[in-house]
Amino acid sequence: MSTQSEFSLIDSYFTGTTSERDDVILGIGDDCALLQCPADHVVAVSIDTLVSGVHFFADVDAETLGHKSLAVGLSDLAAMGAKPAWFTLAITLPDSNEAWLQGFSQGLSKLANRHNIQLVGGDTTKGPLTISIQVHGFVKAEQALCRNQAQAGDLIYVSGSLGDAGAALQLKLDQWHDEQLTEQDLQYLIQRLEKPTPRNGLGIKLRDYATSAIDISDGLSSDLGHILNKSGFGATINLAELPLSAALKKIPHETAAQFALNSGDDYELCFTIPAARQQEFESQFANECSLIGTIEAKHGLRIIQLDGQQQIMTGAGGYDHFSA
């Protein structure tokens, strides 16, 4: 595409669609945006690329894709305890389909405006459908929720419910179904996969409590594994305590628990809290967060199964079975 068509695509469909922030000195339309970071804060930055046929179904609705493309970045900001501020967008499109761009822009801007995050730059090119979004947020350096600060004895919590998106993906791939699920349950699960809710409000409140945090994009077992590796500790989690939605409570517990433990795309938060603050934390957050385990000095991830037996997770989706 020529420079002119690049400019007009961004100009027509994206300029002015997101809230105008005071800290944007110069937004879309020049070679660079000029942005003002508040004193005493640092900028948290993260980029995600979504590729058609790899990260989303090629026939997904444009508005839904607009939502999800930004939601995954917002979720990373939530996991750092950073307040969303700005984002940039690069779209590669097979052709300049106006209806598609309109829908995509709507999904994107609706979510952006809910979080007061402003689009400050973009680029469009021609090619297989690919979306890259880089998000920027503010946090005080000493308050950022890093993966490497969990301590032995800390309690492990997750927000919301787990496994919904993973169940939805298996449904969409026709690899799994359960007779107990109603049409409403199916719609709920698909919504969780396609339109995840990033936990930014919670992420900011967790600055006052959490020693470490991560968002669950790849699956609890592997994302918690990142906290354990970076912090240099191990953990035991209890499969029976993994929070399940009303829909997943209808299916066999063993199946639901495996979705909750291993499947990704939920975009909930997993974080650690010093045990001494359990009561104080739960008095405020018991409704939206669940205690699932404990950080331990002994390395490795130990899972207490539904039958009470303990298994050691070795990573790469495999277990080492042993009787405790």
Binding site for Mg ion (CB under 5 A): 76, 215
Measured between alpha carbons, how far is 30 from 12 in angstroms, rounded to an integer? 15
Taking the least distance from each CB to Mg ion, the nearer of 155 and 269 is: 269
What are the helix and strand counts (H, E) for the chain?
9, 14
- Closest separation between CB of residue 296 and Mg ion, Å? 24
Taking the least distance from each CB to Mg ion, the nearer of 76 and 164 is: 76
- The neighbouring-strand residues paired with 93 are 126
Taking the least distance from each CB to Mg ion, the nearer of 42 and 312 is: 42
Order of all β-strands in the sheet with 118-126: 42-51, 130-139, 83-93, 118-126
- Closest separation between CB of residue 217 and Mg ion, Å? 5
- Closest separation between CB of residue 218 and Mg ion, Å? 8
CB 82 within 8 A of CB 100: no
Q: In the structure encoding, which two tokens stand for residue 189, read together?
A: 């699960």
- Closest separation between CB of residue 111 and Mg ion, Å? 17
- Closest separation between CB of residue 191 and Mg ion, Å? 21
- Closest separation between CB of residue 243 and Mg ion, Å? 19
Taking the least distance from each CB to Mg ion, the nearer of 226 and 250 is: 226
Taking the least distance from each CB to Mg ion, the nearer of 154 and 215 is: 215
Q: In the structure encoding, which two tokens stand for residue 200, read together?
A: 């930014």
CA 278 from centre of chain: 24
Length of the chain: 324
> What are the two backbone dihedrals, phi and then psi, of residue 269, each rounded to the nearest 5 degrees?
-105, 140
Measured between alpha carbons, how far is 75 from 69 in angstroms, rounded to an integer? 11
> What are the two backbone dihedrals, phi and then psi, of residue 54, each rounded to the nearest 5 degrees?
-110, -55
Taking the least distance from each CB to Mg ion, the nearer of 204 and 247 is: 204
Pair type for strands 83-93 and 118-126 = parallel
